[in-house]
Structure formats: structure tokens, C-alpha cells
Amino acid sequence: SSDDDASGELTPVKLQLQWFTQAQFAGYFAAVDQGFYEDVGLDVTILEGGVDIVPATVLDSGAADFAISWVPRGLVPREEGLNITNIAQVFQRSATLQVSFVDSGINGVGDLAGRTVGNWGFGNEFELLAGLRSVGLDPDTDVSLVQQQFDMLALVSGDIDAAQAMIYNEYAQVLETVNPDTGELYQPSDLSIIDWNDVGTAMLQDAIWADADKLEDDAAYRETAVKFVEASLRGWAFCRDDFDKCADIVLAAGPTLGDSHQRWMLNEINNLIWPSPQGAGTMDAALWNQTVTIATSEGILKSAPTDGAFVSDIASEALANLTADGVDVIGNGWSPKTIELKAGGE
Amino acid sequence: MISRAFRGAAPATVVGLGGLLFWELSLLIINPEGFVLPAPSGIIAAFFDNFEEIWVASRNTGFIVITGLVGGVALGVLWALLVSRFRLANETLTPLAISLNAIPIIALAPIFNAWYGLLSPVSNQAIVVILVFFPVFINTTKGLTDVGATEIELMRSYAASSWQVARTVRIPNAMPFFFTALKIASSLAVIGAIVAEYFGGRQDALGPLIVQNAGLTRYTEAWAAVLAGSVMGIVLFVASGIFERVSMPWKPDAETIGA
Amino acid sequence: MTARDEMAREIRRHERTEATRRTLRRIGVFVVFLVILALAYTGYKAFGQSLDDAQTDWPMIGRVLPRTDDLTMPPVSDIISEFTQPPQRNSDKPLAAFIAEAALFTMREAVLGFAFGVIFGLGIAVVLLRSKWIEQGVTPYLVASQTVPLVAIAPIVIIWGSTSLDWLPFEWTNWMSVSLIAAYLTFFPVAMNGIRGLRSADPAAMELMRSYAATRRQTLVKLQLPASVPYLFAAFKIAATAAIVGAIVGEISGGVRGGLGRLILDFASRYTTGPSRLYATVIGAALLGLIAIGLVTAAEYLVLSKRKEEPLAL
Amino acid sequence: MTEPDRCAVAISNVSKVFNQGKPNEVHAIEDISLSIGEGTFVSLIGPSGCGKSTLLRLIAALTHPTRGDVGVNDKSADQARLDRDYGMAFQTSGLFKWRSVAENVELPLQLMGWSKTDRKARAAEMLDLVKLDEFGDHYPHELSGGMRQRVAIARALSFRPSLLLMDEPFGALDEMTREHMQTELLDIWNKTGKTIVFVTHSIPEAVFLSQRVIVMSPRPGRIASDIRIDLGERSFETREASAFFEKVTEVREALRFEESQP
Amino acid sequence: MTEPDRCAVAISNVSKVFNQGKPNEVHAIEDISLSIGEGTFVSLIGPSGCGKSTLLRLIAALTHPTRGDVGVNDKSADQARLDRDYGMAFQTSGLFKWRSVAENVELPLQLMGWSKTDRKARAAEMLDLVKLDEFGDHYPHELSGGMRQRVAIARALSFRPSLLLMDEPFGALDEMTREHMQTELLDIWNKTGKTIVFVTHSIPEAVFLSQRVIVMSPRPGRIASDIRIDLGERSFETREASAFFEKVTEVREALRFEESQP
Ligand SMILES: Nc1ncnc2c1ncn2[C@@H]1O[C@H](COP(=O)(O)OP(=O)(O)OP(=O)(O)O)[C@@H](O)[C@H]1O
Ligand SMILES: Nc1ncnc2c1ncn2[C@@H]1O[C@H](COP(=O)(O)OP(=O)(O)OP(=O)(O)O)[C@@H](O)[C@H]1O
Ligand SMILES: [Mg+2]
Ligand SMILES: [Mg+2]
């Protein structure tokens, strides 16, 4: 609801992303562009991420008010002593895949045995490790794990048999690459993917994090948090309903490259959010438990997170406001688009 | 000899302990959580807690460091010899060296990985070589060319060949320049190897250990791995100091740096 | 007297045109050399590919020598034509313009970082000069400091910059933090060569200064600094490229947009979809390094020719 | 102006050993005692390597004795150095290659905070004295050996210290220039009553200039004889006087005797 | 062994201008012609800065004349340098600080490919000659000025070239050592019939050593007089002979006259 009394005086808010500007964060850019934040009295500055920037650290230091971070990458700092909390679970699914070429004969997790398997580390590897174990493979001995670069060259040039890829980004990159044998782009039919959501070892990804101490002590901050979540979700709903406009907003925000690539990404991101059966931003308890179980069994967390690792009251308040305003926060009507990738993602 | 080495290590030990104390205390005062920059006590504890892992990683990274350092120093000296001897070499190889050096590792890493494949150690070694050779090249060239006029005249009066001039005048004259460069290079080799490892290859090495832990905000563990790299750098530095003393017996002590 | 001045001016003018001519010649030679390198690259590629076609395996390739397919070694023509092509379909600004803008942005960070680094490095050298004891105590840690990767430093600097510097009369922006990161790489060669150079003063000259009861500062300014000039310029050359590399890497670590760092990361992470873009940008970065060293060399030439010494032809 | 009895330099039981305890140990000076009254012109003479330069550097507090004490103007040698009580001309010219000839002469004045115009004037005056007025703008590497030495002399004289320590300053000069410089130096000494300690290899030069000639024995340097010279006011004729030749012979014999000893 | 008529050094109409065309132009040498017969001992003498070192460096082909020609042993000076026809002792000792005293003396031998044992033997012999046998293992910075100069002399003599160019080699030596070195040099000359070109500031030294003394005029350097000395076999008594004093006076007067000219 936009019945804000302090009209004119906007509260400055800084949001730390976990990577550079791209459609992965479309909802926030849309909310800025469409004035959703301003409507609730916030003046939001979006801070891009960097290779070595950890959103949780920035959030804790006070250099940002809210941060976007994957759940495991928020829980570990919490265990290390940063009192941060997940206030809205935006993505309802994991986007991580293990991609290989069809002719390599890898059709399931079991086929990874004896193969050279790439991963990025940074906590991205736990879905893979748990997946391997789920079919009885020992990651230390049965496969050869290697550090992967940012790009997909190692897969394309055959150095590794299966590469880690985000469905919204690196997977698309392979499809934007010319296959030297045919002179055409690689086709989805050339690739075989392992989706951790299907294997059952998926972990939760992008969520909005806030400073737990301040939520406790500072009523104004808590109120800001509700407004922030509300306007952000409104942004995500906008990106679902007005796909092309949202894509244009992201492109205008200046990722250096890739018109078709950003559209592909936006489409896939929408797939990760919508539908949200309990309402966008609400924690899916089963997935939370799965995430925590894998994190602890793989040793990423020493023990299960303490209470308060996520809170649901803020998201519920925000959802209530949105529902009252007639915004569809479930998104049952969302159906994925067909995006045609162009060479180089142009 | 041994007691001398101990005396040489005394200042470093005192400064080191003092520095650690200051670091620990100032964190206690300004940043008790000691998060991004953890307290030394925590780092050292983490170092021993994860000793096994760090040791294996150090060995793997150390291999790249040493091989790259040796290759880079050899290349730098060779390059300097060519450039100080042949004008055409100077006009071509010098700008080439500068160009190579101006390319950040992060841009070279993908290219080298493409050239040699993700799994080959050559791509990492090549990065270390490129980082190391430049200061060696610049300093050595300066030392080879910055020779006293009297010395050169004397050699000309002996009709010494340019190789003889190089051996008897230019190379001894370049020694202090070279050793300064070697000391700069020893730390560059370590950092080069570590950074190169971020971009792919084996995961049981210091680079991945550092980024992974830092990325998960396990800063004490990350700094413990950093500590291993630093120790490696200091060892190489001290080794080049000893090498320097042995190679330049004429130097009054005052003229060597550090160690 | 005036006739003499007139003549001196005349000579200086002559020397200047001489220097220009020499510089142009050097550029010419280098360009020719680059053409030869490009031909060698192309030749090697052709050779490697013919081996491929013939299904023969050459064990060196992929081990000591690079692989030769178009993805790992894009053809020279692709790289060159990439410069003129717009990297974004919705604008017709060519890549060269993107690179130039980014290079300017990075240059600004690098210049500031170079300045910080030189001041800091010289300061350290001067402090270390005070006593052998301090020098022996501190140098190993200077070395150690350079082995700390930016991943451990960048967050500290960036966060410190954005939270602790609000008292400054101007707004501290992230690109300035990047300059600090660049300075972190720059100060070290300056400090190391600086201390060596400061110590290189002729012992007899040091005695002379002592006989004048010159203060430490006077000895430093009048004797040790001038004596260290050749060492310092060698260091500045190392530092100039280090500042650029530091700025680029700092941009990447700290997520600063607008410079070569972001461009390189963008192109690198999409390498398979257009390797020649990365090559082109890398060439841009190298060019920037050449310009930076060119500036340092020009300064060296000015200083040393005034001192009537032979500058190192770099 | 000067009280002739005050002691400008007081050296008592001084020894100097280089590289003590190492295989390349050198006993440069052994148990030297010497006092030089204020306003005296003293020459040191002795075989090469006998420790003359070392003795001068001990007085200048540029090196410290292994044993014994050195005092200058009733203070420690170190204090005298800090008070800039002396000026020194070294055996090697020690010019700064990055400074022009005039700037080299100005160096001590600059360190002592003279104004620019004063400096320039004094430097010009000094270069005139050593007949290098045309060469003020040149750099050291463009000078001949003798010219460099003259620049160093001009530099040592420029700030008019009360004690002058000169290490073979006229070694590389031709006879004419040398005689000219000797006359100038005596002139300065007469006018200002400075104390001058002068190292030379030339016996006639020592005799012509000094009130006392100290003859040193070969390494380890000791004082072999201390010969007083009393030739009155020096002039062109002094060099032809028989008293002059007698003293020259006396010094020569003292030296010969010393050098022929083991 | 030598044919006295052959010309070891032939200088014809040589001029040398430094920094030509610049404001700091210096005419160091103007139109000098001089030929030196093989086996002759010639001294160059003249005021400081008159171009003696420059002339020596022209003969050594270390610098080239602005005008005129220099020939050595019937070839061009450059060719003679390449053939290692001469040995040179510079005005500044020019020792390599990174080589010990003995290694410095061995340097030319090493360049000429002598075996290690031969080198060592010769270096020891030479150091003996200059009375520095104890100092073979020291480094130059540990030597006194005179000792350094002696090392440089030992180095120049070590490989026994047919032509010796010596630039004020005995400048920093005391009288005794100097006389010893003079005797040694004459001895070498007598035994081997070398040609020696010797720059000095000491008139008695020039007269004692040489067959010809070339007196140069102040800058721009010209040959003012060419005085033949014929004192027969030198000995200790030569210095006391009246013929010796006459020659000394003759040279002195030639110099005086030259220097007093504008
Ligand atoms: N820094 C040093 N280290 C070792 N030995 C030294 C050092 N300085 C001087 N000596 C030794 O001390 C002795 C005396 O040297 P000094 O320079 O005083 O001689 P000197 O009388 O001035 O001789 P000269 O007339 O040749 O200049 C010499 O034997 C020399 O080798
Ligand atoms: N490299 C140079 N550049 C400019 N001028 C020079 C150079 N070398 C020598 N000169 C000048 O040439 C003249 C002759 O110098 P030279 O060294 O031959 O004199 P010299 O007779 O050896 O004097 P001294 O007896 O003092 O050694 C001097 O006026 C000197 O300034
Ligand atoms: Mg001496
Ligand atoms: Mg000379």
C-alpha cells in the first residue's frame, strides 16, 4: 500500500547484488524504473556485485541495507558470526545444471563416474557432490573434479566432460556458440543436462537478506524492510506480466552485452520464481530443509542453522499489502516463452 | 654462519611479533568481530586446524611458483641480454615486453587456458613467467646498460669483445639490479600462481582454497591459506638474499636489501 | 649572452625534432614487428590446422605450444575486424570506441593509484633507510604483503572506502577504492628499487655530506634521491604497468563498472561466443600499458638528459 | 682574533684497525698522539697507504678510532662536525655528476641556508680563484682531472670554515697551477688565521706551505718526525732560499729513513 | 729488436672539439702533428685542461679526432686498438669494485685468454712490483688512493704491450714510491724497447724518464715545444747532474712562457 505519510522524504536504501547487472536481478531494476520503490517511500540505490564482493559481508558492514544472496552463501557467514537473516525467498527453484554433450553418453548422475567434472566452487559444488553421493559415487575417488573458469570453453573444447552451468546463463552461452562441425549454433539436442531439482539435491538460491540485529532493534528499519520486499516483489510481478518492457529495462541498465541472452535469462528467472504456490518471497519449508540437510551433510555448515536464519513475517506483511492492491503474487498464469538465442547472445 | 643467520632474523622476528600484537589489539578495539580482516590468533589457529589441506595445496602451488619463477627469471635475463646488445631487439622486444606486462592476469588466464587446456599446468606456469619476467627484464636491462664510462673505455682499450664486456663489466654491474628484481619477482611468482589458479585447473591448490573460503566468508580459513602463500614468498625472498650474498662477495653489507 | 641563448634554443629545438624522429622510427619498427608477429601467428595456426586435417598428432601442440583451432586462436583478421564492429546490436558504436572509453576510465584509476603507490613506496624506502635494523625487520613483510591476493584485500578496501571515508570533503567513490588497490601493487617495486637506489649513493659523496653535517633530510634530497633516479625510473616502469593491471583487477574484484576490467570480464566469461572480442580488448589493455610506459620514459628522458646522463632506451 | 695557544686538533693515543678480527685485518694507524694549535698550517707526509687519509677522516669524525680520542676546537670531533667547524677536500674529487660545476660549489652553501644570490656570488668568486670561471655551466664529466680537483678545492673553501682538512688537493695539478693555488691558499691562511691540515706527497710543497711537517712511517702509521718549519713570510724567493732546501732535505731524509725501516 | 726509424705513433693535423656547435663547445686540441718513433719514451706536459688526456685517448682510439688522422704502428689507431697494440693506465684508476685487487690485475690477461695459472703468476709478479703483494685479496674500496693507482699501473703493465700510454700514473704516489716506480718503468723500457707515452705534471719526472718532452700550451692545446733529452743511461746520480737541472729549467721555462701567453 502506498499510503505513505512521509511524502516527499524518501528513505535512502542500498541494495547489494551478488553479481553484475543482468536479468537475474530484473525485478529490482524494474521496481526502480517503474517507481515502485518511490511509491513506498524508498530511494533505492543498486550496488553491483564483483568477483570478490561477498554480499553478506557488505550487508553486515553497513555499506548496504539489503543484499541478494544464495541461501548457502548467506548461511555460512551466519554461522561465522554475521547476524543476517533471509527475509524473502525469491527464487523457488535451483538453476544449477551439469551440462555435457550428448555424444559423451552422460545421461544421468551415475554416468559421471570416471569423468572429468567441472564446477566453480564457491558453494556451487554442493548440489553436485550431494547428487553424486545420492547415486553412490564418492566425489573424491569416482570422479575427477576440476576448477572451472567463468566461461564454457573447457566443455566446448573437450577438456572436461560435464560442466556446471546456470540454466539462465552459461547453458545459454553454449547455445550461443557456433558448433565448428556444423557451422551453426549448438542446439539443445546436442546437450544433455542434469537438473538438480530433478535429482533432489537442489539448494535454494537468490533471496533477500537483511541485518537481523537492526530488524530487532530498529523499528524503522523493519518497516523499510517490509516496504522494500513489497516493492521488489511488485517489480518481479511486473517482469512476469510485462516481459518485453522488463527486458528493455534491464538492457537499459547496461549489461554490456546480449539482447537475446538477457531475454533468455529473464525467461528462465521467471521460471525460477513463478509460480510461487505460497506467494512469492515465501520460504518453501521442504526446500529449506533439503538445503540445510545437504549443507550440513556436505560439511558446508558445521551444524544446522540457528533459529532466525530466515523470517517469514516480513514477506507475509508485504504479500498481504500486495494482495490487497490486487497484485498476483502466485503467478499460476505464467507460461515460459520461447526465446530464440542468437549467436553470441546478441 | 648459523648464528649470523639468526642475528639477521632477529629484527624480522621482533617486528613480526610486534605487528601481530598491534593487529590483534587494534582489532579488539575497532572491530571485535574481526570479520573481513580476522585476528592473527584466529588465522594461526585455522592454519594448524587445516594444516593437512594447506600443506597439500602449498605443495601443488609451490610447484607452479618455482617452475614459473625459474622460467620467468631465465626469460627476463635472456630478454635483457638481447635488448641491451642489439638495437633491433631493443626496438621490438622492449615494447613487446611492456605490452605483455600490461595485460592483467585475469585476461591472460582465459587465453592461456584456451591455448593449453584447463587441466594443463602450463597455462598457470605461463602466467607466472609473464609476471616474473618483466621486473627482471627492466632492472637487468638497466643494470646492463648503466655502466661507468671509465669501465667501458678500459675495456675498449683492451679491444674486448662485446661478450667479454658483458661478462666482465655489464653482468657484474647488473647484479645488484638483478637481485632487487629477483626479490620483487619472488612475491610476484607466488601471487601469480595463486591468482592463476582461480581460473581453473586442480582444486587442491592455494588459489581455490583462498577464493572458496573468502567467497563463503570463511575469512580465517582464507587468510590461513594466504599465510601459507606469504611464508612461501618470504622463503623465496630470503633464499634470493642468500644467493645474492654468495654471488656478490664485494658488496659491503649496507647495499643489500632486507634479509 | 643573448646570442648564446639563441643558439642554445636552436640546439634544443634540433634535439626535440631529433627525439620526435627517433620516436616515430621506433613506433614504425614496432609496427613492422607486430605485423611479423601476426604473420607468425597465422602461419602457426595454418600449420597446426594442417596437422589436424591430416589427422596427425603433434605432441608439442596443446602442451608446450598452444592449440590452433579458431576458438583458442581466433584468426588475426577476426580480431582486427572486431575493433570496427559494434559489440551491441542495438547501437552502432564500434568496439574500438568502447575500449577507448574504458581505457580512459581505467587510466584515471591507474594514474591516481600510481601516484599513491609512488608516494607510499618512496615513503617506505625513506623510512627503511633510517636503519638496517628497521629494514631487515620490515622488508620480509613487504614481500609477504605482495603475496596476499586481492580477493582478501578488495573487500576490505571497498567496504572501508564506502563506510569510513564520509568525512572527506568530496564523495569517495568506488573507483577511488580501485586506485587504492592499484596502489597496493604499485608501491612495492618503488619501495624495493627505491631503497636500493637511495643506498647506491657513492660512499665518498655520503662522507662529503657528513662532513657538512648535512641533516638526514638534506642528504636525502641533495644526494640520495638524485643518486637513486636511475633505479627509480626502472621502478616507475614496473609500477606504471602494475598500476594499470591493478586498476583492471581492482575493477573486477570490486565490481566497478566503466573500465577495461568489466569489459575483459564480460568478454572472458562469454569467451566461446566470440573469442576475438577478448583478444581485441586485451590488445587495448596492452596499448594502454605502452602509453603509460611511454609517458614514464618521456619523463625519464627529460630528467636524465638534463643530468647529462644516457637514459635507458626503453 | 685567534689565541695561538688554543688547540684546534687534539689527537691522543689513537689507533685505527680495519676489519678487526677478520683475515683481512689492517692496522692503519697505531697509537698516534698529535696536537695542532689554532691557526697552524700543518702538513702530513708519508708513504702511500700509511694512514694519512685515515687520520684526516678521524679528525673529520667521518670514521671513529678503534682506540684513543680525537678532539677538535675543544669539543669531540663529532660535535665539531655537527657545528660545521671544518671544511674538507677529499682525495678523490667527489663531485655530484648531476650538478653543474657552479652548483657543486654551491652545495655546502645551500646546505647552510645561504640565499641564492649570495651563493651565486660566492660560487663565481671561488671559480674565479681556481680559474674555472668559464666552466660554471659544465658538468663534471666534461672536465679534465685537474679541473675537477680544482672544483673540489673551490667547494671546500667556499664556506670559509675555521679548520680546513685537505687530502692531496693539488695532486693532479700542473706546476704553474699548483704554485698559483699554493699562493692563494697561503693568502687565505694569512688573512683569516685558519687552521689547515694538509696531506701531500710533495716535500717542497709541504715545506713551502707549512709551519709543521708531520712525517709518518709506513703502515701501521705512526708519527716518525715532527719538523717545525720557520721560513717567515712566504714569497717567490722562498723556494730559492737555502733554508728552504735544508728543510726539504731534512724532510726527505726523515722519510727515507722511515721507509727503509722494515 | 726494434728499428728506431719506424713510427709508433703518427698524429697529423689533429683537432678535437667537444660539443661541437653547442653553447658549451670546447676546443680541446687544435691542429697537433706529432710522430713518435718506435721505442721512444715521450712525456706530455702542460697546464691542467690543455688536452693531454684527450691526446692520449685519441692515440688509444677511445675517441676520434674532429679533424686529422691518428696512426699507430703503421695502422689506423682503431686497428691498433683491436690488435691490442697498447696498454693504457688511466688518470682515474678505474678499478672494478667487484673484483679483488689480484683479479683486477688479471683482467686484461683473462681477456687475452691466458691460462689461469699463468694469470695468477703474472698478477703476483706485478703486485710484487708495485709492492702490494699482501693486498691481492682485498677489494678496491679497502685501498688508499695511492694503492689504487699502483694496482692500475700493475694492470697496465701486466700484458706487456708494445706501446704504453700512461696518464699521470704516479700522481698520487709519495716520492719514494714514485722513484721506485720510475726506476722500474725505465727498467722495463730498457729491457723491452717499448714505446711509452707518459703524461705527467712533474717536470723532473718528465726529464728523468723521457727522451722527448712535449710541452703543450693551454687550451686549445697545441704543441709549444718539443724538447729532446739526452742524459744517457739513467741512474741515481742523474738527478743530481747539472745537465738534468738544465733540462728541467728548459722545460719549466717553456711551460712558463706558454702559460703566461693569453
Ligand atoms: N675501508 C677500509 N677497509 C679496509 N682497509 C682500509 C679501509 N680504508 C683504508 N684502509 C687501509 O688503511 C691503510 C691506510 O689507508 P689510507 O687511505 O689512510 O692511506 P694514505 O696514507 O691516505 O695513502 P695514500 O697516500 O695512498 O692516499 C691502507 O693500508 C688501506 O688499505
Ligand atoms: N667529454 C667531454 N665533454 C666536453 N668537454 C670535454 C670532455 N672531455 C674533456 N673535455 C674538455 O677538454 C679539455 C681538455 O681536457 P683533458 O682531459 O684532455 O685535459 P688534461 O690536459 O688531461 O688536463 P688535466 O691535467 O687536468 O688532466 C678540457 O677543457 C675539458 O673541459
Ligand atoms: Mg690517502
Ligand atoms: Mg688529464
CA pair distance C182, C245, nearest whole angstrom? 7
Nearest to C193 by CA among C252, C92, C263, C124: C124
Decide if pLDDT at B37 tops 80.
no
Q: Are residues C65 and C101 in the same domain?
A: no
Q: What is the pLDDT of residue C307?
A: 60
| Of the candidate ranges A230-234, A277-281, E155-159, E217-221, the one whose mean pLDDT is the lowest | E217-221
- pLDDT value at position C58? 59
Task: Nearest by CB to E142, from D18, D46, D176: name it.
Answer: D18
Q: Tell me the C-alpha to C-alpha distance, in Å, between residue E236 and each of A49, D257, E43.
A: 93, 17, 20
Strand order in the sheet with E75-76: E26-37, E7-18, E67-72, E75-76
Share of chain A above pLDDT 70, in %: 97
| Mean pLDDT value across residues E162-188 | 87
**DSSP state for residue A178 in the 8-state scheme:** B
More confident residue, C287 or B37: C287
pLDDT(D232) > 90: no
Distance, first Cα to last Cα, chain D: 45
Q: CA of A329 to nearest chain C CA: how many angstroms apart?
A: 32
Burial letters for A78-105: b for 16+ Cβ neighbours within 10 Å, e otherwise? bbbebbbbbbbbbbbbbbbbbbbbeebe
C-alpha cell at C76: 588475426
**Same-domain check for residues C91 and C45:** no
What type of residue sits at position E39? G
Q: What is the pLDDT of residue E261?
A: 59
Strand A66-69 relative to strand A207-211, pairing: antiparallel
Q: Is residue C38 a part of any domain in this protein?
A: yes
Cβ(A139)–Cβ(B232) under 8 Å? no
Are residues C271 and C214 located together in one domain of the fold? Answer: yes
Ligand in closest contact with the CA of E139: 1
**Residue C97 domain flag:** yes
Asked which of C73, C107, C122 is the last residue of a domain, the reply is C73
Nearest CA to ligand 1 atom 7: E142
pLDDT tens, residue by residue, A177-198? 888 888 888 999 999 999 999 9
Chain C residues close to A344, C-beta within 8 Å: 270, 273-274
Instruction: State in Å: Cα D182 to ligand 1 middle.
Output: 26
Residue from E50, E63, E90 whose mutation best tests the ligand 2 pocket (most atoms within 8 A of CB): E50
C162/A148: higher pLDDT: A148
Whether residue E196 contacts residue E185, with contact meaning beta carbons closer than 8 Å, is answered with: yes
In one-letter notation, the amino acid at residue A182 is T
**Are both C59 and C112 inside the same structural domain?**
no
- Residue D226 pLDDT exceeds 60: yes
Contact yes or no for C255 and A180 at CB 8 A: no
> Are residues C177 and C248 part of one domain?
yes
Contact C260, C277 (CB under 8 A): no
Q: Does C28 touch chain B (CB under 8 A)?
A: no
Q: Give the C-alpha separation, C251 to C182, whole Å.
A: 10
| Most confident range, picked from B138-152, C138-152, E104-118 | E104-118
pLDDT of residue B259: 38
Which of A87-91, A296-300, C40-44, C263-267 is modeled with the greatest confidence?
A87-91
Residue that the C-alpha cell 663565481 belongs to? D124
Pairing of strands A207-211, A162-166: unpaired
Instruction: Write the residue with the smallest CA distance to atom 1 of ligand 1.
Output: E142
- Helical spans, DSSP H, in D37-139: 52-59, 77-82, 101-111, 116-129
Nearest Cβ partner for C152 among B111, B188, B226: B226
Q: What ipTM was assigned to the predicted interfaces of this complex? A: 0.82
The verdict on residue C205 lying in a domain is: yes
In angstroms and rounded to an integer, the radius of gyration of the C-alpha atoms of chain E is: 18
Question: Collapsing DSSP states into helix, strand and coil, what is residue A245?
Answer: helix
Give C-chain residues touching D82 at CB under 8 angstroms.
213
Residue D32 CB–ligand 1 contact under 6 Å: no
Has residue B22 been placed in a domain? no
Q: How many residues does chain E have?
A: 262
Residue with cell 644467493: B243
Please check whether residue C119 lies inside any domain of the structure: yes
What's chain E's average pLDDT? 87
Q: Residue D49 Cα, ligand 3 centroid: separation in angstroms?
A: 7
Q: In sequence order, which ranges of chain E are alpha helices (DSSP H)?
A: 52-59, 77-82, 101-111, 116-129, 145-158, 175-192, 203-209, 242-260
How many CB pairs (< 8 A) connect C and E? 9
| Domain identity same for C232 and C87 | yes
pLDDT confidence of residue C143:
85
Sheet containing strand D195-199, strands side by side: D86-89, D163-167, D195-199, D41-45, D212-216, D223-228
- Alpha carbon distance D29, A56 (integer Å): 73
Query: Cis peptide before D220, with omega less than 30 degrees from 0?
Result: yes
Where do we find the cell 608439442?
A: C60
Element (H, E) at B234: helix B219-247
Lowest mean pLDDT across A234-238, A279-283, A338-342, B58-62: A338-342
Q: Are residues C133 and C31 in the same domain?
A: no
Contact criterion met (CB below 8 Å) for C218 and C209: yes
- Give the domain range for residue B177: 37-251
Q: What was the pLDDT predicted at C312?
A: 36
Give percent of chain B with pLDDT exceeding 90.
22
Q: Pinpoint the alpha helices (H) of chain A.
A: 26-33, 36-39, 55-61, 72-80, 126-134, 153-156, 170-175, 196-199, 212-217, 219-241, 243-252, 259-273, 285-297, 313-324
Q: What is the CATH number of the domain that holds B233?
A: 1.10.3720.10
Using alpha carbons only, how large is chain D's radius of gyration in Å? 18
Q: Strand, coil or helix: what is D203? A: helix
In a domain, C311, yes or no: no
d(CA E69, CA B236): 57
Query: Domain for residue B208, yes or no?
Result: yes
> H helices of C69-173, where?
76-84, 95-129, 132-146, 150-164
Q: Tell me, what amino acid is at A213?
A: D
- Strand ranges (E), chain D: 7-18, 26-37, 41-45, 67-72, 75-76, 86-89, 163-167, 195-199, 212-216, 223-228
- Of C73, C108, C137, the one marking the end of a domain is C73
Q: What is the DSSP letter of A306?
A: P
The lowest-confidence range among A292-306, B21-35, D201-215, E46-60 is B21-35
pLDDT at C53: 67
- D37 or C8: which carries more pLDDT confidence? D37
How many whole angstroms separate alpha carbon B134 and alpha carbon B98? Answer: 8
HSE of C133, CA atoms in CB hemisphere, 13 A: 4
List Cβ neighbours of C140 (8 Å cut-off, separation of 6 or more): B12, B16, B234, B237, B238, B258, B259
* Residues E90-100 pLDDT 10s: 877 788 888 89
User: Quick check: is B72 in a domain?
Assistant: yes
Q: In whole angstroms, how far apart are CA A161 and each of A122, A151, B112?
A: 20, 15, 20
Q: Look at residue C55 in the predicted model and tell me its pLDDT.
A: 60
Is position B105 within any domain? yes
Residue C136 belongs to domain with CATH number: 1.10.3720.10
Q: Is residue C313 part of a domain?
A: no
- Disruptive mutation site among A53, A256, A342 for chain C (greatest number of C CBs within 10 Å): A256
D248's CB contacts (< 8 A; 6+ apart) are: D203, D204, D207
SS3 state of residue D35: strand
Share of chain B above pLDDT 70, in %: 89
Most E CBs within 10 Å, among D24, D63, D135, D144, to test the E interface: D144
Interface list for B 8-47 with C (CB within 8 A): 8, 11-12, 14-16, 19, 36-37
Please indicate, yes or no, if residue B1 is contained in any of the structural domains.
Answer: no
pLDDT at A153: 85
A116, A123, A149 ranked by CB distance to B113: nearest: A149
Which residues lie with the beta carbon below 6 Å from any ligand 2 atom?
D 141-147, 172; E 18-19, 26, 28, 48-54, 91, 219
Of B114, B201, B217, the CB nearest to A57: B217
> DSSP letter at A310?
B
* E146 close to ligand 1 (CB < 6 Angstrom): yes
Within a domain: B158: yes
pLDDT tens by residue, chain C, 314 residues: 456 667 667 777 777 788 788 888 888 888 888 898 889 888 888 887 777 666 666 555 656 677 778 888 888 888 888 888 877 666 778 889 989 999 999 999 999 999 999 999 999 999 998 888 888 888 888 888 888 887 777 777 877 777 776 777 777 777 888 899 899 989 999 998 899 889 888 888 888 888 888 888 889 998 999 889 888 998 998 899 889 988 988 888 888 888 898 888 888 888 888 888 888 988 888 888 888 888 998 888 888 776 654 433 33
How many angstroms separate the CA atoms of A121 and E185, rounded?
81
Q: What number is the average pLDDT over the span A157-164?
A: 89
Regarding pTM above 0.90, the answer is no
Q: State the chains in contact with B (3 or more Cβ–Cβ pairs under 8 Å).
A: A, C, E
Q: Indicate whether C5 and C88 sit together in one domain.
A: no
Sequence-ordered list of residues with C-beta below 8 angstroms from that of B65, at least 6 positions apart, any chain = B128, B189, B190, B192, B193, B232, B236
Q: What is the pLDDT of residue D2?
A: 42
Same domain, C128 and C161: yes
Chain E residue with CA closest to C14: the answer is: E22
Per DSSP, the three-state class of A278 is: coil
Query: Could you tell me if C55 and C184 lie in one domain?
Result: no
Spatial CB neighbours of B111, under 8 Å, sequence gap ≥ 6? C278, C279, C282
pLDDT digits (tens, 9 = 90+) for E17-44: 988 877 778 899 999 999 999 989 999 9
Angle (nearest 5°) at CA D89 between D91 and B146: 60
User: In chain A, how many H helices and how many E strands?
Assistant: 14, 10
Quote the pLDDT of residue D175: 82
**What digits encode the pLDDT tens for the residues C259-280?**
898 888 888 888 888 888 888 9
| A53 pLDDT above the threshold of 50 | yes
Kindly state whether residues C146 and C184 are assigned to the same domain: yes
E114-170 tens-digit pLDDT = 999 999 999 999 999 888 998 999 988 888 888 998 999 899 888 888 899 999 888
Chain C partners within 8 Å of E22 (Cβ): 7-8, 11
Co-location of C168 and C46 in the same domain: no
Question: In chain C, how many domains are there?
Answer: 2
Task: Tell me how many domains chain B contains.
Answer: 1
Give yes or no for a contact between D14 and D29, defined as CB atoms under 8 angstroms apart: yes
Last residue of a domain, one of C73, C103, C134: C73
pLDDT at site C105: 93
What pLDDT score does E3 carry? 46
Cβ-Cβ pairs closer than 8 A, B with C, add up to 236
pLDDT digits 0-9 by tens, B152-200: 888 888 888 888 888 888 988 898 889 989 988 998 899 889 888 877 7
Contact B229 C149 (CB under 8 A): yes
User: pLDDT, tens digit, for every residue of B62-121?
Assistant: 999 999 999 999 999 999 999 988 888 888 888 888 888 877 777 788 888 888 887 788
Ligand nearest to the CA of E148: 1
Non-local CB neighbours of C98 within 8 Å, separated by 6+ positions: A256, C87, C263
Q: To which residue does cell 533505492 refer?
A: A44
Q: Which domain holds residue C285?
A: 78-306
DSSP-based three-state secondary structure for B62: helix
Return the SS3 of D215: strand
Q: Tell me, yes or no, whether C172 lies in a domain.
A: yes
* For residue B6, pLDDT beyond 60: no
CB-based contact, E148 to chain B, within 8 Å: no
Q: Give the nearest ligand 2 atom to E16 CA.
A: 12
d(CA B61, CA A329): 51
